Each structure stands twice: as structure tokens, then as C-alpha cells.
Chain A
Amino acid sequence: MSTALETTYRECVREAIRDALQRDPRVFLMGEDVGHYGGCYAVSKGLLAEFGEERIRDTPLSENGFTGIGIGAALGGLRPIVEIMTVNFSFLALDQIINNAATLLHMSGGAFNVPLVIRMATGAGRQLAAQHSHSMEGWYAHIPGLRVLTPATLEDARGMLWTALEDPDPVLIFEHVMLYNRAGSLAADAGPVDIERAAVRREGGDVTLLTYGGALHKTLEAAEALAAEGISAEVVDLRVLRPLDEATIVASVARTRRAVVVDEGWRSGGVSAEIATRIMERAFWELDAPVERVCGAEVPIPYPAHLEQAALPQVAGIVAAARRTLGR
């Protein structure tokens, strides 16, 4: 038995990067302000002093440029971790991510893998307004050739990075900004975790709540509130948005016969739409109620705190949706 450490999501991500740098000399971190400033969310604080400028590299404000350098380094045999400050800025690098990283294996007839990991902050809640707060991981989950991870727990923040680096193909890791300060205990020997499967975070028999990333903890709170009403909710953390672990989703829904998808991203054409469709395709005859969705409001994320919160999924909305599936 290992002892548990009190730690935070931010420290878990930092430990994961430090661990990777120590394990494999081919690993290096680059991005805007990751070195001297310590990362805009302070994730990489202290790593420059520990590992030096060769392996902790500050880049110019040029997402397309340094993401391309990351792809080149990966093709050349290194194992780069590229940090993009927030998902909104990754749009500047879409050409590199989608036209190059995701396609080269295919375009080369299987000759060239791109073992690149890109980390990005995602999501709203810090009053950073409409150019720094969106949840665009669903967009990336649309792209064949990418693996899309959304660590929501300390274990996943600590464990997904190394497994992602071992993947021979590009992996995108989305870290929700509201998770960085989340504190909790983590086993001292916590290490790599799988990046294949969804996880049942709470078992229940009446309704399945499916979610990921920053919305997981609100969904767990909602499950607790539902339990007080005598409704037993199962909470599935998707963990991996591409490829989706359909088996876990379908198995849970087949047990509970009801599903609510909770997604901070927008409803139209998003992750929640995909999940609901998979349930229709694979578990239609198991359903006792239409699939419900609780999503971000279809507006650019507002700046004022009360409007920002109003635009995001909240516990009360999740509880209400779960009740509706039960006819209550």
C-alpha cells in the first residue's frame, strides 16, 4: 500500500511533465511562456531551472510556427510536448494540427508516425471572455488521426501524459482551466493510466450521466443531489473523446435505460450530439426515455461573472434533466 499525497491538478500535470522529462531524454516542452514565466497557468514553474533551456523552450507568439516545429521534431525522433496557452489560440495552428499532424501517417502510406503531444487549456469560468474560454475539444474529436484526451481527475492529470507520449501518433490533451486549483489526494506511486476507456466514476441504476473534463465535478455533485431524492445516478467520465469508448457508454445506458449528456461545449454539432447519436445507434432498444443534454449556451462565452455562469452547465440543470428522463 502506498501512502496518499495531498496535491493539486496543476501539480499533477507538472509532475507528469517532470516524470516524462526524466524518463526519456527525447522529451522536451515548448510553448509560450513555459520557461521563464513558468506557464500562464503556472504548470511548468521551476522546470526551466531543473531541466535547462534545451528542454524547456520558450517560443515566440506563433502557434502555427512552433506547432510545426513540434511536428518536425516528432518526425525527427524526439518526443515533444507542445503547450498551447488556450484552445482558442490553437486555431492559429489548425493547419499544422489538422493538415499535418493528423494526416502524415496516412499520406505517407504508414511510413511516418507523428509522436507529438499537444497540451491546451480549455473551458470557461475565469472571466477570460469569448477569446480565451471556449471548449473546442469536440472540434478536434471530429478529426481522424488525432487522439483527444480530457483528464478530469488528479490520477488522469498525473497519468495520461506518459501514455500519450508513448502513443506513436498525435495526442491532444485538454486541461480545463477550472481544474488546475482542484486539490485532493493522490497515491504516492500514481503513474501512467490508460488512454482508451471511459470510467464509471459513480455507480447507479436509474440514469446515466455522461460527461468529461471540467463538467465532471458538477455532474458528481448533481448525482449526489439526485441520491437525496432517491434517484440513483451513474456517472461516466468519457476521458477520451476520440476514439470514443462506445462499449462503456452503451453498457451503462443499457443498465439504467436513461441518459443525460453533460457538455460544457455547445450543443449544435458537438460532443453531446455525437454521444446521443451513438446511444441511438447502439442502444435504442434499451432506452426508456429520450436522451437529455445539458450543454453550454449557444453564445460566445460572456465576460460578466453572472452571465458566464449562466452560459455553463450547472448542477441544478443536470438534476432537472435527470428527473425528466424519469418522468418526474
Chain B
Amino acid sequence: MADIVMPSLGADMESGRLAQWLIKPGDRIARGDVIAVVETQKGAIEIEAFEAGTVAGLAIGEGEEVPVGAVIARLEAPGEEAAGAEPAAAEPASAASPAPVEPAGPPLREPAAAPAPRPDGARRRVSPAARTLAARLGLDLAGLGPGSGPGGAVVSGDVRRAAEAVRAAGPPAAPPQGARAAGLDLEEMRKAIAAAMARSKREIPHYYLVQVVDLQAASDWLAARNAERSPEARLLIAVLLLKASALALREHGAFNGTWEDGAFRPGAGIHIGNAVAIRGGGLVAPAIHDVDRLDLETLMAKLRDLVTRARRGGLRSSELSDPTVTVSSLGERGVDRLLGVIYPPQVALLGFGRVGERVLARDGVAVVRQSVELSLAADHRVSDGHSGGLFLRRIADLLQEPDRLLA
């Protein structure tokens, strides 16, 4: 039996509200399946399963907010089903009673209506555990009489027995639909950005390097390529910059990874977080996975999809938890150079300013070339300026021969 927990979608996340379940007990799921939608400060995020198995039970209902790491569902590993149903909440005390089984179908949220008042006006006592279990099992508390707890309180054991009686009597009523997660809450997002960026500046000793990169060759190559293609198949220069960065990161691993518990951990792949501005004021930097292994067309498609989802909601949990480095581009409005703030626990951020014409010196002559100011903000605990310089130089070199980005 494995637990599915509320995932951490970034160093600044403390809790998440489960907006919608997309699975129910008995469903078979594969690794990577989207199983739920969780509302976070970064909007509604689709949660993916880390393991395959059969859903044994849902531990929380739609609308509930739980801390990162709290169990939200339980999963039986493939082949484990034969071991028999296990109660959702393992209780040594209940060994004497028959093992309860989760009802088929999504759980009810806790009934919104308060329990009916007793005729004598006193509030009927229902323990918190009984309410939790009733909500999980989809049982209406209104039907429960005096319980077996202190002062006649209804306790979890009473709910379990009642649920067994209901199940014996017939199938549960159709559950109400949980409200689909709302859109982005920019105030909440601002809080998340504030927490992450303040932590970054507090903890990470940044150093900054800037290099002007000649993009004439890349721009010419791109223009020629795009001229033959319909808009759907055209590439943005951002894709070339991303790919060059990813290929350079392969050789400069000190900029791809995280700083955790006082030590550098190299990234498991080159998962580049792309800083996406949210109109109205907001920022999120979800990852494209394994950028170094993607061809340019796939990378373009993924970037387009990612930007769309970042702005409308619908990011996946792995996109927020996996980035190993961030790339930010602020040149669209004419910014020449950006010096970034590293997103913890990452250790580097690459910044691209305006791509456009600049006067550069070439062989003793002033020439006008397409170019960009490329910057690196890096964590001095992990790397030094010299290696940072070599890293930037490598990106610049790759961009001089765009054909090498096809590999």
C-alpha cells in the first residue's frame, strides 16, 4: 500500500486545496496520470501519479486544504489487490469488527449543512474524527443517532458501523460535483513570489556575469527556415536560445541542479524552468523536461503549450517541482539586460535581454549585428565566476552554428 501525498510544487508551498478528484477508489492508474486538480498560489495545478496501482481510497474530500506531505489517497501496488481490502484508516482497535470497504464512487465532501439540532436545543456531538470519516465515506451524519463516545458523542466507530449498514442496504447516492478550480489568484501568486524571492536573496550568494552574444547567424538561419513554413511550423528565437542553453548545461553541470541541506545536488535531467509573465502581474516558471534531448519543433510545441497553460491554469505538478535551472527572457519590451534572482533551491538563472540590432566591433570595423545580452545569475556556493564565464561562452559558441542545435 502506497500513500499519495500532497506534493510540494516549489520551495515556497506549504499547503494545497484539493479542488477536484479525477480518480475514484478502484481505478487503475499509471505513473504520470493526472489524478487530481489542486489549487495553489500558482493557480490550479494538475497532480500526477508517481506510481502505478489501484486506488484504494481517497483520504481527503474535494475542497479540503492539507499541508504538503499529508496523505491524500492510498494506492495498492499492482498485484497487491489480492491481499484484500484494507480499511482506509488502519485501526488496531477495529480488528474485532469486519474490515470496512470503501464505497465505489468519489467521496462526498463533508455535508455543508450542520447536523440537525436536537429537540432539546443542545448541539448534537459528533467527534472531529467521525466527521472526517463520514466525509470520506460519503455518509450523511444527519441519520446517526446518539453515539458511543463521551456524552453520547458520535465517534468514528459509530460512523464506520453506520457506513457498513448503509452499504449493505444499497449503493450510495450520486455525489455532488466539486467546483472546478477557479482561475489564477494574482494576490496569492504575489505572496508565493515574495516568499521565494526573499528567501533567494537571503540565502543565495549570487554572482552575475553578462556577455553580448552575436545572433546574426542564428537570426538568419531562423528567418530562412521560417520563410518556408506556415505560422504553425515557425520557430521563435527563444527556442534556439533554450536549446543552446540546454546543450551547454550538459557540459556545465554545476549550473543544473539544486542546493539542498547544505550541498549541491546535480539535476536528474536538464529540466529548464521558463519564466512566464502573467498579464496583470505575476510570474511562474514551469519546467520543460529534458530540453537537451528535444528537437526544435518539439521544443517549440512544448513551449507554446506551457505558456498557454501557465496563463490559463492547468500546469502539472512535475512542471513545478522538477525545474533544475531557470531561463528568463525580458527583451520583448526593449530591456537590454536582466540580472536575475535565482529561484530556490535552484542554483542558476540565465537571462536573455532584447534580441535586436547592435553595433559590434568585428575585425576592426563597426558592424550592425543581431545580438543579445546573455546574463548568468549563479550561486557562489556551487560555482565560481570562471566556470560561469566558460558556461556562457559555450552557449554563445553554440549559437554561432545553429545546425549544431538540431542534434
- Chain B contacts of A288 at CB under 8 A? 127-130, 149, 153, 155-157
Given contacts A255-B92, A289-B149, A327-B153, list 5 more A-B pairs with CB under 8 A. A205-B93, A257-B127, A285-B128, A285-B132, A288-B130
**Contact of A327 with B92 at beta-carbon distance under 8 Å, contacts A286-B132, A287-B127, A288-B155 already known:** no
Taking a contact as CB atoms under 8 Å apart, the answer to whether A255 and B91 are in contact is yes
Taking a contact as CB atoms under 8 Å apart, the answer to whether A257 and B129 are in contact is yes
Q: Which of B256-294 contact A (CB under 8 A)?
A: none
Q: Is the interface of B mostly helix, strand, loop or mixed?
A: helix
Minimum distance in angstroms from B123 CB to a CB of chain A: 14
Q: In the complex, A203→B90 CA distance in Å? A: 14
Q: In the complex, A236→B264 CA distance in Å? A: 38
A296-328 CB mask vs B (1 if < 8 Å, else 0) is 000000000000000000000000000011110
The bracket for how many chain B residues form the interface is 20 to 34
- Chain A contacts of B90 at CB under 8 A? 255
A232 lies within 8 A of chain B by Cβ: yes
**Contact of A256 with B127 at beta-carbon distance under 8 Å, contacts A288-B156, A325-B150, A327-B150 already known:** no
**Contact of A289 with B155 at beta-carbon distance under 8 Å, contacts A257-B129, A327-B148, A327-B149 already known:** yes
| Sample (13) of A-B pairs whose CB atoms are under 8 Å apart | A203-B92, A204-B92, A205-B92, A206-B93, A232-B93, A257-B129, A257-B155, A285-B129, A285-B131, A286-B129, A287-B127, A290-B150, A325-B150
Q: Is the interface of A mostly helix, strand, loop or mixed?
A: loop
Most buried by A among B91, B93, B148: B93
B29-48 CB mask vs A (1 if < 8 Å, else 0) is 00000000000000000000
Total interface residues on A, using CB and 8 Å?
19
Taking a contact as CB atoms under 8 Å apart, the answer to whether B127 and A289 are in contact is yes
B119-149 CB mask vs A (1 if < 8 Å, else 0) is 0000000011111100000000000000011
B84 lies within 8 A of chain A by Cβ: no
B151 lies within 8 A of chain A by Cβ: yes
Other-chain contact of B128, A203, A286, A325 (Cβ < 8 Å): A286
A112 lies within 8 A of chain B by Cβ: no
B74-101 CB mask vs A (1 if < 8 Å, else 0) is 0000000000000000111111000000
A140 lies within 8 A of chain B by Cβ: no
- Chain B contacts of A41 at CB under 8 A? none
Minimum distance in angstroms from A321 CB to a CB of chain B: 11
**Contact of A257 with B150 at beta-carbon distance under 8 Å, contacts A206-B93, A285-B131 already known:** no
Taking a contact as CB atoms under 8 Å apart, the answer to whether A205 and B149 are in contact is no
Taking a contact as CB atoms under 8 Å apart, the answer to whether B150 and A289 are in contact is yes
Minimum distance in angstroms from A328 CB to a CB of chain B: 9
Q: In the complex, A287→B149 CA distance in Å? A: 11
- Chain B contacts of A257 at CB under 8 A? 127, 129, 155-156
Minimum distance in angstroms from A292 CB to a CB of chain B: 9
- Chain A contacts of B149 at CB under 8 A? 288-289, 326-327
Taking a contact as CB atoms under 8 Å apart, the answer to whether A324 and B150 are in contact is yes
- Chain B contacts of A255 at CB under 8 A? 90-92
Q: In the complex, A327→B148 CA distance in Å? A: 7
- Chain B contacts of A287 at CB under 8 A? 127-129
A245-282 CB mask vs B (1 if < 8 Å, else 0) is 00000000001110000000000000000000000000
Q: In the complex, A42→B132 CA distance in Å? A: 53
Q: In the complex, A103→B58 CA distance in Å? A: 46
- Chain A contacts of B129 at CB under 8 A? 257, 285-288
Q: In the complex, A324→B150 CA distance in Å? A: 6
**Contact of A205 with B91 at beta-carbon distance under 8 Å, contacts A257-B129, A284-B128, A286-B132 already known:** yes
